[in-house]
Structure 1
Amino acid sequence: MAKKATKRQRIDEKVAAGMDHITAEKEVIMEIATEQVEKLKAQQAREERKVEAEAVSVIREEFPDEWTHAMGVARDRLDARRIKRAAAASKPRGDAHAAETDAPSAPGVPDDVAGDTEQAYPY
């Protein structure tokens, strides 16, 4: 893994690319702050996953009846989602079927009146 450029190196690279020094320094500081925020968000997410795992453990140990009920509800929800996805996947897609009509097509007769028994245009 390549060593990350220092703050000074990053600023110098931006200045060499044609940016003025103040703007370059400002951008590097913003980049560093953004990186720190992302690290903190990732750390917070890891901590939240640990807490949730421990909460599951507590519920499983101290409330076994509720745990069994919750597992059944979770299975039902997952099954319902799976069935819904399968039903959606089996439906025909596209406009190919929408263009088909039950009316017979006759040459020289507009499609919107092809199946009508009355004459489309009074002559």
Structure 2
Amino acid sequence: MLKRKLLGKRLQRIRKAHGMTQKELARALGVKAPTVIKMEAGTGGPQFDTFVKLTEVYPDVAVEEILCDSLDTAVIFRIKELSERMNHLTEEEKKYLRDVARYFQGVMQKESTANE
């Protein structure tokens, strides 16, 4: 929970540094304002596709700046590398990757629910 709160504070700081309101960010991400409020409060983390959109809304912000306390250095390096590679993909290829990520996210959620 502490990591989510830290992530939320970073997201809030980044949003404010870009002069955006929560409603404006929600609109840019294609989500509802309560989703942004929950992310910033640390009661909900961004879904994969929302995280990808965050990197598009804030192209000047490094992935590791958003996630710095949430992931170890090796994972951050790998995400940054993948993010740079994604910049060279077509929109169709990006959509395919998001769909694959959503599929695996669903599988992981089902496994998590089954293990509870």
TM range (shorter): under 0.3
Q: TM-score, normalised by structure 1?
A: 0.26
Q: TM-score, normalised by structure 2?
A: 0.27
Q: Which has the higher helix share?
A: 2
